[in-house]
Amino acid sequence: MAQNEAAEAETAETETAPQPAAPAEPDHSTPKRLVYASAAVFVALSQSLATGFVSANLPQLAGDLHATTNHTYWVMAAFMAPRASMPLMLIRIRDQFGLRRFAEVGIVCFVLAMVLNLWVDDLHSAVIVAFLSGCAAAPLSSLGFLYMLEAIPAAQRLKVAIPAVLTMIMVGRPLARVLLPELTANASWHAVSLFQMGMALVALALIFALPLTPRPLQKVLKPLDFVSFSLLAVGFGAFTSVFMFGALDYWTQTEWLGVALVAAIVMVAGAVLIEMQRANPLIDFHWLLSPPILHLAGTLLVFRIALAEQNAGAVGFLRTMGLQPGQEQLLFGIIALSMLAATGVLMLTNSGARAPLFHGIALVLIAAGAWLDSQSTALTGPEQMYLSQAMIGFAGILFLPPAMAKGLGAAFAKGPHYLLSFVVLFLATQSIGGVIGSGLFRSLVVDRTAYHMAQLSPQISADNPMLSQTLAQSAASLGSQTADAGARAGAALSSVASTVQQQATILAYDDAFRAVFWFALAALAGLIAHVALRQSWPLPRLRLTPSTPVSTS
């Protein structure tokens, strides 16, 4: 009864509140538009580089914090956990308190978080600061979009603004791996913190110097919004932690993973039940559960999982081979350039009608890249991955902007309120989907490594004459290092065991790359079948019509 009364009160307030007039189109000169576009690029890069630096340097961070590499994944989990949920309330806060206040408070919080990084000296403080940094970085993606929308005329926003900002948000990961060796060459992790703080201060100056066009304020925050947000925040954070640590602590051997997974499901289900009973919900789950939107969600999730081939696969394989960050710079530079090239292609050719074509090309590129990587051996290095990883980097950008434009079109066709519901869908499939994809990929590698070790172990038995000869030769080569025959034999056996372990891991990565290849081909077959079905049996489509332009609100 109380819930129904609250819903009726929300309905009455919504119906009686005057709707604000649509804001006028910003009338900026061309030079000023270029300045706003530069600010958008810088703000979005500040956020994406912050994410990239955390994920790129966990091994060195472990050394600086005197912790194990597995334990430093808590830093990554703490940074990523708020990323999927914070923007939900930020959009409401932005509408209620205004764009300028939202922008200024958001960037000040980010600067303060970057300053706090300078005082991190152990794992506990690193986890706390990483969580605060993740919360503070959440508004920057929105600010990047808002500044790019301010810079681009309305007619070009789908074609230019969305690809440009999404590229800046995605390119931070490979770009961080290009910059990291230079930043940490003669210093510790604090050099990276200083660099991030410098970028944050420049972004602060840009945002205060370039105010966004004011939008009408709306009283949109309701008490139940905070309840739903809290449930989703805890649920999304638990999902992030479970899939990040599932492959590290392993699923069936760590009790807290199961408890956290159940808690995540209960929390998200609770938020869904609350929102579906509200007349004016924070998130319209009735719309999100409609067949066209579920199809879009599935498409976003499939691609995000497939892109784990690069984010978890290539990175993990090169780490297995013992490469140092400086040896990978050119590879990740090529990946970043491939993303920029894909952005240029989209700006020239993107349209809603071509989204299935772009998605099909992206799946072909991912499948081809994964197949090339599945041929890896102990001699494979970054040079052998230039082509495959460039193809996958290109595919990621070729897919995401058309998919986001399609979702935005569906949201605006229903009304501005549905924008927040689409943001939930997009963030859940991208942030959590990325973690799920990486977790599943690493779990498959762990399983296949155990399998290949079982197959290779008989080859290192004492009855193998070739092994005995190899051990004798290896022990003899160590004669100049120690005169102890027992120590030489032990070192030789350890070297052979290490080689076998590495070979088993390489074979496991090849299996995982092949799994991505088949996964991408299956998705491509599904896409072709879906397009053929839609042509022979038309259903309601998600499209952006001229009557629903993308606004900056």
pLDDT score at 25:
60
Q: How far apart are CA 6 and CA 317, in angstroms?
A: 54
Query: Which amino acid makes up residue 389?
Result: Q
Single-letter amino acid code for the residue at 91? I
From the CB of residue 185, how many other CB atoms can be counted at a distance below 10 Å? Answer: 10
pLDDT at residue 537, rounded to an integer: 62
Query: Which residues of the chain, if any, have pLDDT below 50?
Result: 1-22, 542-549, 552-553
Our measurement of the distance from residue 23's CA atom to the centroid of its chain's CA atoms, rounded to an integer in Å, reads 32
**Please, are residues 306 and 523 in contact by the beta-carbon 8 Å criterion?**
yes
In the structure encoding, which two tokens stand for residue 35, read together? Answer: 């300045």
Yes or no: say if 381 and 519 are a contact pair by the CB < 8 Å rule: no
Residue pair 154/25 in contact by the 8 Å Cβ criterion = yes
Q: Which tokens go with 505? A: 């891991």
User: Which stretches within 250-354 are classed as H helix?
Assistant: 255-276, 285-288, 291-306, 308, 315-320, 329-349
Residue among 101, 128, 113 at smallest CA distance from 50: 113
Q: Which long-range contacts (CB under 8 A, 24 or more apart) does 380-387 make?
A: 380/317, 380/321, 380/506, 381/318, 381/321, 381/323, 381/327, 382/318, 382/323, 382/327, 382/328, 382/330, 382/331, 383/331, 385/314, 385/318, 385/331, 386/330, 386/331, 386/334
pLDDT at 480: 54
Per-residue pLDDT reduced to its tens digit, 57-97? 777 777 777 778 788 888 888 888 887 777 777 777 777 77
What is the model's pLDDT at position 392?
A: 94
pLDDT of 2: 44
Spatial distance between the Cα atoms of 531 and 524, rounded to a whole number of angstroms: 11
* Distance between CA atoms of residues 464 and 481, nearest Å: 26
pLDDT of residue 518: 95
pLDDT of the residue at 489: 57
Phi and psi torsions of 552, nearest 5°: -95, 5
Whole-angstrom CA distances from 183 to 18, 100, 326, 336 are 53, 33, 11, 18
Residue closest to 71 by CA, chosen among 114, 119, 122, 115 = 122
First to last CA, the chain: 35
Q: Can you tell me whether residue 114 is helix, strand or coil? A: helix
CA distance 553 to 547: 16
Return the structure tokens found at 424: 């939930």
**Packed helices 123-151 and 99-116: angle between N→C axes, nearest 10 degrees:** 150
Closest CA to 49 of 188, 152, 202: 202
| b/e sequence 127-146, b meaning 16+ C-beta within 10 Å | bebbbbbbbbbbbbbbbbbb
Candidates 92, 101, 100, 131; CA nearest to 113 is: 131
Q: What is the pLDDT of residue 37?
A: 87
pTM: 0.83
Contact criterion met (CB below 8 Å) for 399 and 358: yes
Give me the sign of the Cα torsion angle 441, 447, 448, 453.
positive
Q: What are the CA-CA distances from residue 226 to residues 7, 15, 89, 468 (Å)? A: 15, 22, 8, 68
pLDDT in tens, 343-367: 888 888 866 677 888 889 999 999 9
Q: Which two tokens stand for residue 260?
A: 């956290």
